Structure 1
Amino acid sequence: MTRLILTAFATLVAIGLWAGTMFIGTSEGWWKSPIVASDSADDFNKMVREKVEQEHIGNFGFILIENGEIAGRWTVSSGLPVDQNSVYQVASLGKWLTAWGVLALVEDGQIDIDAPVSKYLTRWQLPESQFDHSGVTIRRLLSHTAGLDDSLGYNGFDQQSDIQTLEASLTRAEDASPGKSGIVKVGLLPGDEWKYSGGGYTLLQLLVEEVSGLSFDDHMKTRIFEPLGMMRTTFDHEEALKMGLAENFTPTGTTEPFRWYTALAATSLFTSPADMAKFVQVQVPGGSQSVLSQETLAQIATPHASTMGADIWGLGAMLYAPNNRGGFIIGHDGNNEPAINTAVRFDPDTGDGIVILETGSSLLATELAGEWVFWKTGNVDNLAFAVVLESAILWAFVGGLILLLIGLLIGWRQSLGLLKQKRVD
């Protein structure tokens, strides 16, 4: 009987060790290799271009930045020609720039980042809940820790005429992503945990309009885009159409119009690869820009939220991985239906970065940006980890099942041995 107990214990320990090894090994990149063996920017640039030209159907804009300088730039198109000034709808990537627009109001003394957002709103308020809404601060909205449980996700509208007002969208978004209620409300204790909230950024869009007295796009233009020289960046869909948009490819290689959104701040920025490279370059160490102070830039890259023990969010920017210098690789990604995928990564300590804007694939930009992070730091990008986590769980389950079957087989044989021993006795 003692041997059976020891076998059962050993089997459980083995299953736990196997599952832990799969989880930690995946998060630490134990069985991952850099996309290129050298540290040459030219080699990385060449490898990515070859992969894109072989695998991608659609439009693709790429810029590699080393020490604040452009180290590679190119475009690929399956349709009408595109270049570095071609304009793409970049989905949630716009949240990073929205955060700059909000933080500019903080620096201008118009809002207190730690004040309840309700203090500045007259057109709409969060519906009543069991929680104290004074904890729904601007800082927490920026870092997805305000307790909003909408998990939006907007699918947009086919026609401009279908767009809701901001207030109506916050009450119930008619273009909520599948499985989401579209209702922006407090469903968790503010400040208690991180939960992604597109609705929180729609609420920040309303805040910007109420405080600045301007439309959201006009505030972003005058306070952020124009001072940074980002002249092909806008939240105005009609203006973007006049600029000339890169075609919106689907995974099958067909094209369709970009969708219209009420939730501009959360998901409908239009910009070019060249403008996003400017946005990165003004943030390099010693860079010159008059929009935000160095103290505020440092706060953007400071951990404000974590999950599963990893720091994942600053103020409007994602924290993708440690940069091995005490800070983080920061940036943002974006995904909109049917196959818009954008990704920007930036190391504030070195001035290195990567910009990828594309249509035609739902994950290629994120995948390649994650490869850049691993190539630069040897650390697995948080989003890259999330993408392969399902596979790691599957391997953990399969390996655990095999170990369980082995344990059962050993236990069965031990039981037969005990029965034989009893018969002999």
Structure 2
Amino acid sequence: MRKLILLSIGTLTAMAAWTVLIFVGLSHGWWRTDPGARGGVAEFFAVSAEAIGAAEQGAVAFVLLEKGEIAGEHYFSAGVPVTRDTLFQLASLSKWVTALGVLKLAADGKLDLDAPVSRYLTRWQLPESEFGTEGVTARRLLSHMAGLTDGLGYLGFEPGTPVQTIEASLTEAADAMPSADGRTLVGIEPGKTWSYSGGGYALLELLIEEISGEPFGVYMKRAVFDPLGMSHSTFDLAEAEKMGLAPCFDEAGAPCAYHEFAAPAAASLQASAADLVRFIEAQRRGAGRDFLPPDIAAAMMTPHASQYGIPIWGLGIMLYAGAPGGGFIIGHDGMNFPAIETTARLDPATGDGIIVLATGNPGLAATLGGEWVYWHTGRVDVRTLDHMIPQAGMAVIAGWILLLALAVIMAFRMRRSETPKSS
């Protein structure tokens, strides 16, 4: 019996060790496909620019930063040429910029990040819920920890189609992606579980308007764009087209039309690569251009949500991986229909970063962003990890089955060896 107990303990220990081994290996890229030599910054840039050109479709703006300075920039378009000042639709990358607008209200003493947002709202309120609404705060909305279960994801409205008001969209988004519920409501206990919510950022847009007394786009220009010198940024699609918007391409590289959004705070800032460089620079530690007070800036980059025990979200930003000098690689990705994909990622301690704005190139922005994170940190970014979790789970289960099978065989042999032989 003692041997069987020891065997059970050993098997459980081996199963735990196998699980840890798989996930440590996953985060360190042990099974990651090698994208090829990357060498220094210049080589990483050259290989990445070559990959952009190889696609031969869509429009792309690619900027690589080193110590806060532009180490390389590359622009490509199968249509009208694009430059550093050409505006691209940023999709959910817009949320990072919106977050700065929200945190600026907190810095100015106009918003308590931990107060129920209902206290500031008059035009719309969250529906009553078994979990109440008092736990829905700006801090939790920024980190997708407010318990909202809308699952948005917006498709946007085609040209010529009436766009919902922000209040109507919060009640039920007419342009919800098929996988989304579309109703902004409290479906799980606030503060307990991370659940990505575009509706939460629509609610933050309304919050900004209620507190500032200004239309959202007007406030963002006054409070964020103008102070940061972002002269080629707007939440208004018509204005973006006048300023010079990159051509829209679908996933096959064919021309298409941009969609408009009821909640631009969540999905449709249009901005240039040059403006995003200015935006990123304002958040680099020690850059001398501190946009937010140190305590709020630090809170923004502190983990507020995790999955599988891995920190994944700060206030308005993704936490992609641990940074070499401490802290995290921060930033945001974006994806809009039909084939708009963006990413901006930064090591706040060093000023190193990457910006990829693309239309008509499915997967390009996330791939280059993930390769940069791995090149810079030696770790796989959380977005890539999320896609690899199912395969890792299968590897864990396969290992468990093998270990359990071995344990059963060993236990059987132990039993046979202990059974007295008949004379």
CA deviations over 1:197-236 (Å, ceiling 9, x no partner): 1110000000011111111111001110111111111111
Please give the secondary structure, in 2, of the residue aligned with 1:123.
Answer: coil
Provide structure 1 residue ranges, at least 5 long, that are not aligned to the other structure. none
The alpha-carbon deviation at position 129 of structure 1 amounts to 0.5
- Asked if 1:224 corresponds to 2:224, the answer is yes
Shift of 1:325: 2.3
> Cα offset for 1:401?
6.7
User: Quick one: distance in 1 between partners of 2:288 and 2:4?
Assistant: 70
Q: Equivalent residue for 2:277?
A: 277
Of residues 397-406 and 376-385 in structure 1, the stretch that sits farther from structure 2 once superposed is 397-406
* Matched ranges for 1:370-409 at <5 A: 370-396=370-396
Matched residue, 1:87? 87
Q: Is the 8 A contact 1:129 1:186 kept in 2?
A: yes
Q: Is the 8 A contact 2:284 2:351 kept in 1?
A: yes
Q: Check if 1:264 corresponds to 2:255.
A: no
Query: What is residue 322 of structure 2 aligned with on the other side?
Result: 322
Distance 2:390 2:56 in 1: 24
- How far did residue 148 of structure 1 move? 0.9
Distance 2:399 2:78 in 1: 42
CA distance, structure 1, for counterparts of residue 358 and residue 37 of structure 2:
26
Residue 122 of structure 2 is aligned to residue 122 of structure 1: yes
Match of 2:365 in 1: 365
Distance 2:14 2:286 in 1: 52
- Determine helix, strand or coil for the equivalent of 2:228: coil
Alignment partner of 2:233: what SS?
coil
CA distance in 2, matches of 1:285, 1:5: 54
Check whether the contact 1:56–1:361 (CA below 8 A) recurs between aligned residues: no
Q: Which residue of 2 aligns with 1:301?
A: 301
Of 194-203 and 25-34, more deviation after overlay is shown by 25-34
Asked whether the 8 Å contact 1:23–1:393 carries over to 2, the reply is no
Tell me if the contact between 1:66 and 1:353 (Cα under 8 Å) persists in the aligned partners.
yes
Deviates more, 1:82-91 or 1:398-407: 398-407
**Residue 397 and residue 81 in structure 1: after superposition, are their counterparts in 2 closer, same or farther (change >3 A)?**
farther
Is the 1:155–1:337 Cα contact (8 Å) retained in structure 2?
yes
Please give the per-residue CA displacement for 1:72-103, whole angstroms capped at 9, x wherever unaligned.
00112222211111111111001001011111
TM-aligned CA deviation for residue 131 of structure 1: 1.3
Deviates more, 1:167-176 or 1:74-83: 74-83
Task: Give the counterpart letter for 1:389 in structure 2.
Answer: I
Q: Secondary structure at the match of 2:385?
A: helix
Counterpart position of 2:313? 313
% identical equivalent positions:
48
Deviations 1:103-154 (A, max 9, x none): 1111222121111100000000000001131111111111111111112111
Aligned mates of 1:94, 1:38 — CA distance in 2: 30
121-130 or 379-388, which moves further after superposition?
Answer: 379-388
| TM-score, normalising length: structure 2 | 0.90
Cα separation, 1, equivalents of 2:294 and 2:10 = 54
User: Residue 162 of structure 1 aligns with which residue?
Assistant: 162
Partner of 1:134: 134
Could you tell me which residue of structure 1 aligns to residue 352 of structure 2? 352
CA deviations 1:363-414 (Å, max 9, x no partner) are 2211211111111111221112112323334555566677788999x79x98
**C-alpha displacement at 1:20, in angstroms?**
4.7
In structure 2, what is the equivalent of residue 110 of structure 1?
Answer: 110
- CA–CA separation in structure 2 for the residues paired with 1:164 and 1:32: 44
Instruction: State the number of aligned residues.
Output: 422
Following superposition, the deviation at residue 171 of structure 1 comes to: 0.4
SS of structure 1 residue aligned to 2:134: helix
**Paired amino acid for 1:102:** V
Q: Which amino acid aligns with 1:382?
A: V
Cα displacement (A) at 1:48:
0.7
Distance 2:15 2:189 in 1: 35
| Deviation per residue, 1:310-336 (Å, 9 max, x gap) | 111111111111113221110110011
Q: Which residue of 1 aligns with 2:337?
A: 337
Residues 58 and 390 of structure 1, relative CA distance in 2, 3 Å threshold: farther
Q: Which residue of 1 aligns with 2:52?
A: 52
1:173 equivalenced with 2:173 (yes/no): yes
Q: State how far apart, in whole Å, the 2-side matches of 1:177 and 1:38 are.
A: 37
Output the CA distance in 2 between the equivalents of 1:89 and 1:57.
17
CA root-mean-square deviation? 2.9
Q: Structure 2: which 5+ runs fail to align?
A: none
